[in-house]
Amino acid sequence: MMDRRDFMAMAAGTLVACGMRVHGEGAAAATLRIPAEARGPQMAEDFIGLSYEVQQLADPEFFSARNTGLIGQMRGLAARGVLRLGGNTSEFAYWKPVEGGPEPAHPQTRVVEGEPAPHYYAVRPEAVRNLAEFLDATGWSCIYGINLGTNTPERAAEEAAFAARALGGRLEYFQVGNEADLYDHHLRDPKTWSAKAYLEEWLAMTRAISARVPGARFGMPDIATKMEWLTELAELWAAVKDAPRVTTVTHHYYFGGPATNPEVNIGRLLGAAAMERVAQMAETANAAAARMGARVRMTEGNTCYRGGKPGVSDVFAAALWSADYALQLASRGYTGVNLHGGTGKSVANSVGGALPGDAILSAQGKTAAEIATHPHPFYTPIGTFGGEYKLEPVGYGLKFAGAWSGARLFETDWAEALATSGVNATAYAAEMKDGKRSVVVLNKDAGRDLAVQVQFGGAEGQRVRVERLAAQGLESRAAHLTREAQGAEVRNGSVEANVPRASGLRLTLA
């Protein structure tokens, strides 16, 4: 494993393929020319993020300065990042400012199979104070989720006021409500629930918060799937008087699910169609955000909803997917990405009490001990094994992409030309803050290697740093970030390198 101190900081964008030829059975070659100027979006310094259930706050020791194992993994993942607290369990949280105080009355909700049960839990001041110390220790900031589904404006405002004081500059913004486009499943009347009805409730809640927290910032609507809500809300927003300050339009994206769905497989996860869907969502989200004077962030998502799928979410294929996905979003102007995870218990509670992936492993004859070797949830970037924390493959992909935080992307596209080689690969290029150029090539193909010639245009003999994201194969449960000791050199303005099947490569002019 590569030492964190040696891991680089670079950027993302796409390349132009100016020439391509296939040579040798099972191998392909591509010549990649970097444009003269990086004119794409700038990747935010805190682009990389994690998403956790609000229910994790029920244990005030989880996000605390004493949880050094988790702190170390998050610092290793990104020097600056964003922790998002939300998830399905956020709609059953209630603020309990005084220990021993009575539990408030809760509205009645429908019990629906497959939806989280209405299990209420308290968020106490101790947990929020500990969260502030945790964020200080990691160097990260926080998107703080507040219950919209079963809350009152008064309680929301009281909690927000305390959180704002405790978190201070570590607070990015408040997220009021989680996946409200799905409230009609169990929290609201499906006959009357709509984007307009949501906006009315959201405004009542956020105006109460703004009255207690002057200048409060918000993200919204944090939808699950109904991208048309973004368009509709942007249209309604123009008529809102004295609107709360929305800095970020937010939404979620899971490739597919649940784990029992046979279409959730490595081939489809790494296929071109998955990223085409991402591009379509980004177009809708950016258009809505522009009308609202905001930016876009993907605040929750992963490979497979409802806890992930063993053999897909917890293997090296997920690393290549997360690296590609993060760089896709960066190249489309997103301010960041938060991949969902946490403890198995909290995510199981969020999806009705059990992870579908466990049933799959049991059906395969796995013993309890064998099942316990998998991260729970299966898609979590940082796995929790008792008191130990481990960066999982999907987290390695996120780290590989996040090393470019702060860089300017090249606004070019060579995906169509590369596809003619028959290799399932993508590539990105960026210019670092110090002016150095960097290239990432992700070979997602299970069977073919790729030889690339990158036309950097550097000085003859200039050193090039070579780093790789690799494993034994797409189904490997391990991932590695390595740096080649010798590196490479610029020859005639170009660098040649091999990108083996199922691996990632980064070249950076040193």
Per residue in 480-501, pLDDT (tens digit) is: 999 999 999 999 999 999 999 9
Q: Find out whether 9 and 404 touch, Cβ atoms under 8 Å.
A: yes
Express each pLDDT in 55-96 by its tens digit. 999 999 999 999 999 999 999 999 999 999 999 999 999 999
Rounded CA separation 10/312 (Å): 28
φ and ψ at residue 77, rounded to 5 degrees: -70, -45
CB burial of 442-479 (b: ≥16 within 10 Å; e: otherwise) equals: bbbbeebbbbbbbbbebeeebebbbbbbbbeebebbeb
What is the rounded end-to-end Cα distance, in angstroms, of the chain? Answer: 21
Q: Residue 334 is inside which H or E element, if any?
A: none
φ and ψ at residue 28, rounded to 5 degrees: -140, 160
3-state DSSP helix/strand/coil percent for the chain, to nearest 5? 30, 25, 40
Exposure on the CB side of residue 254, measured as CA atoms within 13 A: 24
102 DSSP 8-state letter: P
Domain at 4-42+408-509: CATH code: 2.60.40.1180
Rounded CA separation 437/431 (Å): 5
Rounded CA separation 417/70 (Å): 42
The first and second tokens of residue 229, run together, are 């809500």
pLDDT of residue 99: 87
Which CATH number fits the domain 48-402, given the four candidates 3.30.9.10, 3.20.20.80, 3.40.50.720, 3.90.1150.10?
Answer: 3.20.20.80
For the chain, the domains span: 4-42+408-509, 48-402
Express each pLDDT in 328-358 by its tens digit. 999 999 999 999 999 999 999 999 889 999 9
Express each pLDDT in 114-142 by its tens digit. 677 788 999 999 999 999 999 999 999 99
The reported pTM is: 0.93
Mean pLDDT across 323-329: 98
Amino acid at the residue 347: V
pLDDT higher than 80, residue 2: no
Helices and strands in the chain, H and E counts: 13, 23
Express each pLDDT in 407-418 by its tens digit. 999 986 676 667
Rounded CA separation 176/96 (Å): 17
